[in-house]
Structure 1
Amino acid sequence: MSISDVELGTTRLTPNYRIDLRNPGNEQLDRFINANLVSDWSQLTWKTVGKPYEVKTMAKSKQEWEQQNGHMSVKTSWEFFNRSFHEWFVKDVPEELSEAKKKLYKHLARFQVHEVKEALGETARLSLWNYAHRIQDGIWDPRGKRALFQGLDIRKPRILFLGAAEGYEAMQLHAMYPEGEVVMVDYDDFCRTDRFGHFPDSYPFLGANPATGQSQVWHKSQMNIHYLVDDIRNLPFGKEFDIVLSVGLLEHFPDEFKPEVMDWHRKFLKPGGYAVMTTPRVQLRSRLFYTIMADVMNHTYRELMDVRQMGLYVYESGFDILRHGYIKVHNGIVAKPR
């Protein structure tokens, strides 16, 4: 399947994900809600905003592994998560949902209580994944991410993506600000070989044509991307990137480690460079998602926070916040080191 520029302004579903090429100039399509909740971050306190919500329900696979082997290391936890998460990204969701419902009806007809319970759980997870990822496109959220990323004062940027996984957001940035370079970093090689390696080249990223200034579709194979498998703490880079990006990274570290995480964003930035970050929003549907999808999602320490909490971590770590707000299921911040 190939997507041409003729399809700009359209959206449609595939069995695995949604394609969304609606033009960022259309009203109320690219939505970044510039919250403006805080006018002076120096006056905000933890007493005012409270601490983030900690997700404590863990995946069964993690619990079973720890019963046999003791405490699971952070790296092993991420390896479990990446494989579990990837299995869901490659599902033919309508087909699997149809099969799950057939199994549920069969077990109901036979009054097989244990099997009914398992089938109900699988049907619920597939239905929620279908809604969150395919229908709402809340995980990738291309329109929201484009809105968060737009307006940066950069040309041909070098972009460093910390904890890159499949690298979606860096590819979206690369499409919007083309002709630069992306360096993706993750310490699980499965992310390089499978999550990024099997990311479909047919997926279209709506970006810019540098020659005309008009909208253009970009694909993974057209991008200048290098993928490093390493611990972020071992990276050899200096202050050489225009953007340091992280998506869903900060919330996986308890408070005593958050200053170190923020320092990773600072130490690789050129003077005047941007730190761009997202974290999952704390809201009822997010709590529900991580409860129902626990066996898929919850292998590591995880918090849900509001944008004030996220911003306070960023501000207290020596950054000035240029933009703060939220998209569908994520908080978003653009900041620069003070």
Structure 2
Amino acid sequence: MQTATTNSRIVQSETQLTPSFRLDTREYSAKERNKFVKENTVRDWSQLSWKDIGRPFQVTSYAKEKTNWEKEKGQALPVHTSWEMFNRSFHEWFVKDVPTEMNVAKKQFFSSLTSFKPKQISSALGDLARIHFWNYAHRVQDGIWDPRGKRALFEGLDVEKPRILFLGAAEGYEGMQLSAMYPGGEVVLVDYDAFCKDIRFGEFPDSYPFLGENPQTGGKKVYHKDDFNVTYLVEDIRQLSFGKEFDIVISVGLLEHFPDELKPDVVEWHRKFLKDDGYIIMTTPRAQLRSKLYYEIMSDVMNHTYRELMTLEQMGLYVYENGLDILKHGYIKVHNAIIAKPR
């Protein structure tokens, strides 16, 4: 563990597992940085074509909660309801005491073996697989929050005390990380499910450390949730009344929830609120074998609505064809990542 003293807090460069998530304020060298973000693999986006790269992989294994609702009602699950279901399901997993749950699932599985009932055994095995997969993806790998990868992605923006707009913000993690790296500004989080404001953000752990910049010393500083100037709006993105007033507009895992005919609208939601010299940041889950396995095993937790997995090239081509110049692109653990500006 390394420590550095600032005039406000002690910055501890360390990582630590809690029962529900990982804390990580480790720094990295320029050489180590390449472990966390693989940058600029495409030299000229204008030379890509859909014929060459193909279309995204659509996830079609849906949560039982969704399929049971549709069977009972005889109609497609409304989009707003699907997000309400997803947010509650996802949060339930975020707050689990994972080691305890792993022990319970293991005992239940071995107990089921004595029943000689295939359905009971299969159900217990599924529960065991899900909790172990969640432990690996979220606690061990820290693939959902991914603080070092996102700090590597977010670094180098030419902004000071920025206004940040986070579309589909959920618990607002990335907005807070940006505000730690570029302190003194404002974060506006937007989600149209009040559960996200009241519970996912409202119960986000006050002790969670965000490593950022100390403008007084030029060194590092650890921030916490209550250090940020946050406004949380429960509104539909399409109904926001803002003008072009934000330095950064960000979304995390938004583009992939819309079919092709709506993707230009998603890109426009970012551009319409951005200052002329502002930055658009977007990420999507990457099309790779372990991601496909994750969304299959965790379907009851994750898959309540339309979802695609994309390659970086597919995501980038959507963005490029809809009027954005891509300044930086790369991989951050399980997500594709793009920083762009309007052409």
Task: Provide the C-alpha distance between the structure 2 equivalents of 1:175 and 1:9, rounded to a whole number of angstroms.
Answer: 15
Matched, 1:260 2:250: no
Partner of 1:28: 32
Task: Provide the C-alpha distance between the structure 2 equivalents of 1:34 and 1:26, rounded to a whole number of angstroms.
Answer: 13
Find 2:274's aligned residue among 269, 275, 284: 269
Contact 2:165–2:249 at 8 Å: present in 1 too?
A: yes
Q: How does 1:96-107 map to 2 (within 5 A)?
A: 96-107=101-112
CA 1:178–1:137: 2 relative to 1, 3 Å: same
Letter of the aligned partner of 1:68 in structure 2? E
Report which stretch shifted further, 261-270 or 69-78: 69-78
Letter of the aligned partner of 1:192 in structure 2? K
Q: How far off is 1:68 after superposition?
A: 1.2
Q: How far off is 1:213 after superposition?
A: 1.2
How many positions carry a matched residue from both structures? 336
Matched, 1:63 2:67: yes
Matched, 1:312 2:312: no
String of CA shifts for 1:234-255, please: whole Å, max 9, x gaps.
1010000000000000000000
Partner of 1:280: 285
Structure 2 counterpart SS, 1:165: coil
Q: How far off is 1:33 after superposition?
A: 3.2
Root-mean-square deviation over aligned CA pairs: 1.5
Q: How far off is 1:118 after superposition?
A: 1.1
String of CA shifts for 1:128-187, please: whole Å, max 9, x gaps.
000000000001100000000000000000000000000000000000000000000000
Letter of the aligned partner of 1:18 in structure 2? R
Find 1:295's aligned residue among 269, 291, 300: 300
Report which stretch shifted further, 254-263 or 63-72: 63-72
Matched, 1:113 2:111: no
Task: Provide the C-alpha distance between the structure 1 equivalents of 2:121 and 2:33, rounded to a whole number of angstroms.
Answer: 40
Task: Provide the C-alpha distance between the structure 2 equivalents of 1:286 and 1:43, rounded to a whole number of angstroms.
Answer: 27
Unpaired runs of 5+ in structure 2? none
Contact 1:24–1:147 at 8 Å: present in 2 too?
A: no
Find 1:38's aligned residue among 42, 54, 69: 42
Find 2:240's aligned residue among 218, 226, 235: 235
Task: Provide the C-alpha distance between the structure 2 equivalents of 1:26 and 1:108, rounded to a whole number of angstroms.
Answer: 51
Structure 1 counterpart SS, 2:13: coil
TM-score after normalising by structure 2: 0.95
TM-score after normalising by structure 1: 0.97
Task: Provide the C-alpha distance between the structure 1 equivalents of 2:196 and 2:223, rounded to a whole number of angstroms.
Answer: 21
String of CA shifts for 1:245-292, please: whole Å, max 9, x gaps.
000000000000000000001000001100001000100000000000
- Percent of counterpart pairs with the same letter? 64
Partner of 2:217: 212
Matched, 1:81 2:117: no
Matched, 1:186 2:191: yes
Find 1:162's aligned residue among 142, 167, 180: 167
Matched, 1:248 2:253: yes
Contact 2:10–2:221 at 8 Å: present in 1 too?
A: no
